[in-house]
Amino acid sequence: MSSEINQTIPRATGLLVIEVRNSNPNGDPDKESDPRQRSHDQRGFISGVSFKRKLRDLVEWKSAPVWQKLSKDLGLTEENFCILESRDRGFKDVKDATEAWQKVLQLIAKEPEGKAVNNKYWDARLFGATFLESGEEAPAGGKRGKGNDRKHIRTGVAHFPIGLSICPIRIQRDTRTKKASAQEEKDRGMAPLGYRIVEHGVYSMPFFINPTAAHETGCTTQDVDLMLRLIRYAYPHTRSDIRPFVEVRHAWYAEHTDSLGSFSEFRFIDTMTPKRKQNPEQPSSDKLPFEDQYDVPKTQPEGLRMKNFRDLTESLPDWCSKTS
């Protein structure tokens, strides 16, 4: 991967406005897969890890329509856009996860500063990567043990914090049944209170693009371009039975006028976050349109020095077309 275009990666700030209707956008394994919810104010949240997983899946599924379309548009090659956070680690010929991990360790040892890893994995270049290679696993010959532990830590260019619901959420729990059981000794199936969904919620999830990290990970404008194009497809193309109706309604994006930062990211996010019109401490309803319940900003914030202000669900920054 060329590093010549690293310097052109813009410093950017964004905000995803995600609407959820009768779906579980992100289950909590500590609460039997209940939709994630803060205990002190009952507001729901979606982890950044969950959202990035969907972007990773769209790139990993090489035979699916999203990758087929975008890879053709951008001229991407499969071998440089593997996914590190996957079971086979981008190695088609491995038998299991252990063998895949050993191949990753070989890549780490192959070139200094993890360049071989970065060249192969899109998510490592974009989101960063952390490895703790223990002495017992390290391919370097000779010594073993804690003294031979090696770390590979790279912070990423793109960051997605948690997405928080504007209002508290109401969780609905139902029991689902099916005619055929998944257990041999039973003639029908049942999952008591196994279907757990948010009736309605609007979540705001900030995201940030930090070009300073690009020199460490080898991230390029092409990597960022792909991510920006994927955002609108994150939920409709990873839809599931428990998450049938989730959509990024708006994906606000703005670039700073210089690489050091030209406006307050807090102010941008506060300005573009929807506000509940009435009863802000009550859950919103799936019976009313989104815009009837929330004031949704749709224009560029005043007084902030920025460029390329966009809603990524409708258009991309001008420079994106230049990588096609």
In this predicted model, what pLDDT tens digit does every residue of 267-295 receive, in sequence order?
999 999 999 999 999 999 999 999 999 99
Contact 20, 246 (CB under 8 A): yes
Question: Which residues, 6+ apart, have CB-to-CB distance to 81 below 8 Å?
Answer: 59, 71, 122, 226
Pairing of strands 158-159, 294-295: unpaired
- The answer on pLDDT for 234 being more than 70 is yes
Tell me the per-residue pLDDT of 176-233, one tens digit each, with 9 for 90 and over.
Answer: 777 665 666 665 555 677 889 999 999 999 999 999 999 888 999 999 999 999 999 9
Residue 36 in tokens: 């994630």
| Mean pLDDT, range 130-140, rounded to an integer | 51
Q: Which residue has the higher pLDDT, 99 or 41?
A: 41
Q: What is the mean pLDDT of the chain?
A: 87
Helix runs in the chain, H state only: 48-60, 65-74, 97-110, 115-120, 122-127, 214-217, 221-230, 265-272, 290-293
Average pLDDT in the 85-113 region? 75
- For residue 159, pLDDT over 60 is answered with yes
* The Cα angle at residue 17 between residues 15 and 20, in degrees rounded to 5: 150
| Band of residue 6 on the pLDDT scale cut at 50, 70, 90 | very low
Res 184: pLDDT = 63
Question: Which is more confident, 37 or 106?
Answer: 37
Is 246:233 a contact under the CB 8 Å cutoff? no
pTM, whole model, 2 decimals?
A: 0.87
